[in-house]
Amino acid sequence: MSEKQIINIILIGIGGCIGSISRYLVGVTVHRLLNIYWFPVGTLAVNVVGCFLIGLIGGILEIKQVNHAEIKFFLFTGILGGFTTFSAFGYETFNLYKDGFIFLSILNPIIQVILGLAAVWCGYFLSKLI
């Protein structure tokens, strides 16, 4: 493994720690403020905020022509990836659309949701057989 890869892994790890702790704190705070426990409003808030932030930061980096992989690893894969992987999913789907891959930008959410829910279902039922 190269020195650059090790640095990227460390950046992602530090960012992931920050993002994961932030996810917990935002989720708990939203539930406490709204006093809603029958719907996952904390997760909803985290997903929406994460998607907004990845769009905002991605747009700013694009406008400013900042193309440093380390910054993207730390912010996108690390912090926002730890905060919510839904933000990465949203950003990747948006980029497919923006880059002209309209069909793939429609297909991606469909495949992700169907396979994700199928995997949860399979894992759950497999756990009952163990």
| The pLDDT of residue 18 | 98
- Is the confidence at residue 128, as pLDDT, over 90? no
Cα–Cα dist 129/27, whole Å: 32
- Is the confidence at residue 120, as pLDDT, over 90? no
Cα–Cα dist 89/95, whole Å: 10
Can you give the pTM of this predicted structure?
Answer: 0.79
Domain ranges, ordered by start, for the chain: 3-85
Q: How many residues does the chain have?
A: 130
